[in-house]
Chain A
Amino acid sequence: MKSANQPLLSLKGITKRFGALTAVNGVDLDVCPGEIVVIIGPSGSGKSTLLRSVNFLEEIEEGTITFEGKEVGYVKNKHGRRHLDTPQKICALRSEIGMVFQHFNLFPHMTVLGNVMEGPLTVQKKGQEEARHIALDMLAKVGLSEKRDVYPATLSGGQKQRVAIARALAMRPKLMLFDEPTSALDPELIGEVFDTIRALGKEGMTMIIVTHQMGFAKEMADRVIFMEAGSFVAQGTPEDFFANQMEHDRIQSFLSRIL
């Protein structure tokens, strides 16, 4: 871990159920500022659900989310039942946590620049000029300045994902969540997206990344977590994880399937 002070994000006993199915089952996780956490595991193991819970796109049944030392996101009503906090508070929290999706989810009716400007403009209520300035900075960071005036339909998958990263970064988030950012990409396009994420890591961005790319986990992660059936089965530094945890039956069978 790069930092030993107070965790930026602290999850305690996160549990999310879909009817009879428990997708996430009492997960605890502390993420320190600047730390890069990579979560791997078979599909349906609850990785994405956990990530989405952090951004309140899923409402959890149990557990607490502590962000920057404050428990956030859920309040109890007068009957003692917990529910999501007011939309204003949730929106404010989300604007501090960036998220990148598997399918990019760019806004197709806006230009590349428009996509990246949208957060500062609409959510942070910044002026046109300032929002444009921020957006151009972020596009430069992901190396797509020359594409600013085209619509997303004209971009390749890798370019789309880099724009999506720029869009999230334009909000100046304190934490970035990546939900399988390369799973929808052709193999030759994966590299450019990881280069972008790698550059972010070098700048000290705190990140939680769900991925199937073991090479990337090995190279970038401060910590690798193996998740299965809603729980963390094993975790450790990449060296420790790929050297010692490999004997874990479940991990072995998973890795042998995807490598």
Chain B
Amino acid sequence: MKVLCGRVIRTILLFSCLLLLLAPLSRAEDTEQIFQDANDAMARGDLPAAITVLKKVPFSKTDDSGAFVRSRMQVARLQFALKDFPAATASTKEVLAVYPDNSEALNFLASVQKEQKPRYVVFWEDCLRFLPNLLKGAVMTITLVFCTMLISPLGGLLIALGRISRFKPFSVLCWFIIWLFRGTPLLLQLFFIYYGLPSLGITFKPFTAAILGLGLNYSAYLGEIIRGGIQSIEHGQMEAAKAIGMSYGQAMRRVIIPQTYKRLMPPIGNEFIALIKDTALVSTIAMVELMRSADQMFNAYFNVTALILAALIYLVFTTFFTFIFEKIEHRAGIYEIR
């Protein structure tokens, strides 16, 4: 009997030891079961049930497995999805009470608060946050546009006169410039000037490289446009100018070129509108302009408002220039009105 009793006691002790050993394990199993149940509930689309189930995960100060944080954040997200923002805030704060530095909880709290505000307030706050940087970038964009708008018509005129020149080396050179700069991507040209030329011992600051690339590219395009404009002027105009004793240069300056202004305005206006947008390409050669600023804001906050604002600023620019060019075109053609 004694022996039997001893065995029974030993067995009981052994079992209780085993149970003690297995206890944490079973609790972990319980937690997994809770998450599993919650997932099932969510799969059924029964979100309140999922929340109830998840709340069974006990409060823990030493949350080694992260189950507590996981469950409460999940609860908060579900409450967020059910648009119960106060409850979602409360659940998140439960986590923050234990782990005040939990970044997931902090971010989530921010987006819950944001969600509680009216949309336009959120947008307005984003605008105020992004605009200073974007406007700084926009100033650089406008600077680039204006510099190119000063350089390229002069370069274009030179190329156009070269193309129609009877002096072969000059006309071949101008043909070559057009061939090269119209035939390769602007992005490649900018890369070559900024990253490629240093290997040949020529180094430019980003701004100089940007102006050089844009200026040459747009001179080549405007060159062909201006050449077309000059050649579209009736031949009799040149003859009449010559007949009163004008030199070729005088005839060009006084008679031919002034008549091209009206015809050139629409295509040149087109080019300049394209230019405003092409300046975005120089963001690739370390220039901080509007596109680059927008990109930086977008990447820092992952907030699409930065991109929308940049688009709006570009639209303001292009609209303004379209309007200006229409005015100039009208002015240039005033003599054609009968």
Contact = CB atoms under 8 A, between A and B. Distances in A.
Interface of A: 55, 57, 87-88, 91-92, 94-96, 98-99, 101, 103, 105-110, 118-119, 122-124, 151, 153-154, 164, 167-168, 170-171
Contacts of B241: 107
19 contacts: A57-B242, A87-B247, A95-B245, A101-B239, A101-B243, A105-B236, A105-B240, A107-B241, A107-B259, A108-B335, A109-B258, A118-B244, A118-B254, A122-B246, A124-B245, A153-B337, A154-B338, A167-B244, A168-B243
A95 B337 contact: no
Contacts of B111: none
A167 B244 CA distance: 8
B155 to A, nearest CB: 24
A101 B336 contact: no
Contact of A119 (B244, B248, B337): B244
Contacts, number: 74
B165 interface: no
Give 10 nearest A-B pairs by CB, closest first: A95-B245, A105-B240, A105-B236, A119-B244, A99-B243, A123-B245, A151-B335, A94-B245, A91-B245, A109-B335
B336 A108 contact: yes
A108 B244 contact: no
Interface in B82-111: none
Which of A95, A108, A119 is the most central at the interface, judged by chain B CB atoms within 10 Å of its CB?
A108
Interface of B: 234, 236-237, 239-248, 250, 254-255, 258-259, 335-338
Given A105-B239, A122-B250, A153 B244 contact: no
Nearest to B334: A151
A168 B236 contact: no
Given A108-B336, A109-B258, A118-B254, A103 B236 contact: yes
A110 B254 CA distance: 10
Contacts of A57: 239, 242-243
A92 B242 CA distance: 10
Nearest to B236: A105
A105 B233 CA distance: 11
B248 A87 contact: yes
B255 A107 contact: yes
Given A109-B259, A119-B244, 11 more contacts: A55-B243, A101-B236, A105-B234, A105-B239, A108-B335, A109-B335, A110-B335, A118-B255, A123-B245, A124-B245, A153-B335
